[in-house]
Structure 1
Amino acid sequence: MSVHRKILEKSGRLDSLQQQQQQPEPQAQEYGKQNSDNQDSDVLKNLEACEQYNSINSIRSTSRVFPRTKQVYMDAKIPFAVIIQPHGQSIEQGFPTVNYGNNPILRCQNCRAYINPFMEQLKEEEYMRCNICTCIIKIPNNLLKPVDLEKRSDLTTGSYDIKAGQEYQVRPPMAPAYFFMIDVSQKSQELLGIMGQIIKDMILEDKFNERTLFGFITFDTSIHLYNFSSKLKQVQMYVLTDDNEMPMPGNYLFDLQDSKDIIVAFLNQLDHLFPKPQLRSTQFLSAFKLAQNIMQDNGGKLIILTSSPIKELNLTDNAKSPQNHFLPTNNVLKQIAEKMHLNYISPSIFVLPCGFNNVATLNQLVKLLNGDIFYYDDPTIQAQKFYYDLRAILHKEYTWESVFRIRTSIGWKIKSIYGNYSIKNADLLNLICAEDQKVLMYELELNQPRAPYDNLYLQTALLYTSTKGERRIRVHNFCIPISNSIKTIYSQIDQSCLAISLYKIALSQLNIARDVKDCIQTKEFLITATRSISNNCKIFKEPLESLNSYMLGIMKSSILNYAYDQQSVLTDRMNYFRSIFQYLNVDELVTYLVPQLYNISNLQEQDCIYDDSGYFIYPQPISLVLEEVSNGGLLLMDCGHCLILFICKIHDENQMSDIFGKQYCSINLIEDNLYSNSKNIINDKLHYLIAELRKQTFNVIVFSNKYTKYAPLYIVKQGCKSYWEDVFFQNLIYDDFNKNYRMGYNQFVQYIG
Structure 2
Amino acid sequence: MSASAAPSNWVFSRVVFGLVFVPVVYVLFDSVVTDVDDVFIPMPDDLLCNLNECKEQVRELLLTLGKTQSGGGGNCLGAALQAAYKLLAPIGGRVSVFQCCLPNLGPGALQSRENPNERSAKDVVNLNPATDFYKKLALDCCGQQIGVDLFLLSSQFADLATLAGISKFSSGQVYYYPRFHVTQAPDQVERFVGQLRHYLTRKIGFESVMRIRCTKGLQLHTFHGNFFVRSTDLLSLPNVNPDVGFAMQVSIEENLTDYSAAVFQAAVLYTSSQGERRIRVHTLCLPVSALLPEILQGADQEAVVGLLAKMAVDRSLSCSVSDARDALINAATDLCHAYSLTQRSTAGGLMMMRNCKTLPLYVLGLLKQRAFRVGVSTKLDDRIYDMESIKNLPLDKLLLLIYPGLYPLHLQLPEGQMPPRLQLSFEKVDKVGLYLLETLDTFFVYVGGRISPRLLENVFGVSKFSQLPDSMVRVQMDG
TM-score by shorter chain over 0.5: yes
Equivalent residue number for residue 394 of structure 2: 585
Q: Secondary structure at the match of 1:381?
A: helix
Equivalent residue number for residue 449 of structure 1: 255
Equivalent residue number for residue 528 of structure 1: 330
Change over 3 Å in CA distance of 1:716–1:536 after alignment to 2: farther
Matched to 2:148, the amino acid is P
2:56 and 2:409 mapped to 1: Cα distance? 50
Change over 3 Å in CA distance of 1:491–1:259 after alignment to 2: same
Equivalent residue number for residue 551 of structure 1: 363
1:657 CA displacement: 5.1
Q: Is the CA contact 1:598–1:636 (under 8 Å) kept in the aligned structure 2?
A: yes
What are the within-5 Å matches in structure 2 for residues 42-441 of structure 1?
A: 175-176=1-2, 208=3, 210=4, 212-242=5-35, 243-250=38-45, 252-274=47-69, 277-311=70-104, 312-315=108-111, 324-378=125-179, 379-441=185-247
1:667 and 1:220 mapped to 2: Cα distance? 43
RMSD of the alignment, in Å? 2.7
1:342 CA displacement: 0.2
Matched to 1:534, the amino acid is C
User: Does the alignment pair 1:493 with 2:299?
Assistant: yes
Q: Per-residue CA shift, 1:247-276, capped at 9, x if unaligned?
A: 3353622233444444344345444433xx
Equivalent residue number for residue 641 of structure 1: 441
Change over 3 Å in CA distance of 1:502–1:651 after alignment to 2: same
Change over 3 Å in CA distance of 1:540–1:618 after alignment to 2: farther
1:220 and 1:442 mapped to 2: Cα distance? 40
1:294 CA displacement: 0.7
Equivalent residue number for residue 202 of structure 1: none
Task: Return 5+ residue gaps in structure 2 as ranges.
Answer: 180-184, 344-352
1:658 CA displacement: 5.0
2:138 and 2:49 mapped to 1: Cα distance? 24
Q: 2:412 aligns with which of 599, 604, 607?
A: 604
1:548 and 1:456 mapped to 2: Cα distance? 28
Equivalent residue number for residue 503 of structure 1: 309
Q: Secondary structure at the match of 2:284?
A: strand
Change over 3 Å in CA distance of 1:215–1:563 after alignment to 2: farther
So what's the TM-score if we normalise by structure 1?
0.56
2:290 and 2:147 mapped to 1: Cα distance? 44
Q: 2:474 aligns with which of 680, 698, 717?
A: 717
1:216 CA displacement: 1.0
Q: Per-residue CA shift, 1:454-491, capped at 9, x if unaligned?
A: 21112222222222223232222221121112222222
User: Does the alignment pair 1:574 with 2:369?
Assistant: no
2:190 and 2:83 mapped to 1: Cα distance? 30
1:344 CA displacement: 1.1
Q: Per-residue CA shift, 1:537-589, capped at 9, x if unaligned?
A: 333353321222212212222321146988xxx32122112111112111221
| Greater strand proportion | 2
Equivalent residue number for residue 346 of structure 2: none
Equivalent residue number for residue 420 of structure 2: 620
1:668 CA displacement: 4.6
1:238 and 1:545 mapped to 2: Cα distance? 61
Q: Secondary structure at the match of 1:561?
A: coil
Equivalent residue number for residue 172 of structure 1: none
1:647 CA displacement: 3.0
Task: Return 5+ residue gaps in structure 1 as ranges.
Answer: 1-174, 177-207, 611-616, 671-714, 720-724, 730-736, 738-753
Q: Is the CA contact 1:316–1:329 (under 8 Å) kept in the aligned structure 2?
A: no
2:254 and 2:65 mapped to 1: Cα distance? 61
- Structure with higher Rg: it is 1
Q: Per-residue CA shift, 1:315-341, capped at 9, x if unaligned?
A: 499xxx997232222222112112111
Change over 3 Å in CA distance of 1:288–1:598 after alignment to 2: same
2:145 and 2:164 mapped to 1: Cα distance? 17
Change over 3 Å in CA distance of 1:717–1:255 after alignment to 2: closer
1:505 CA displacement: 1.0
1:271 and 1:406 mapped to 2: Cα distance? 46
Q: Using CA pairs below 8 Å that are at least 6 residues apart, which structure has the higher relative contact order?
A: 1
Q: Is the CA contact 2:456–2:464 (under 8 Å) kept in the aligned structure 1?
A: no
Q: Per-residue CA shift, 1:38-90, capped at 9, x if unaligned?
A: xxxxxxxxxxxxxxxxxxxxxxxxxxxxxxxxxxxxxxxxxxxxxxxxxxxxx
Matched to 2:359, the amino acid is L
Matched to 1:521, the amino acid is D
Q: Is the CA contact 2:102–2:111 (under 8 Å) kept in the aligned structure 1?
A: no
Q: Is the CA contact 2:112–2:159 (under 8 Å) kept in the aligned structure 1?
A: no
1:716 CA displacement: 4.0
So what's the TM-score if we normalise by structure 2?
0.86
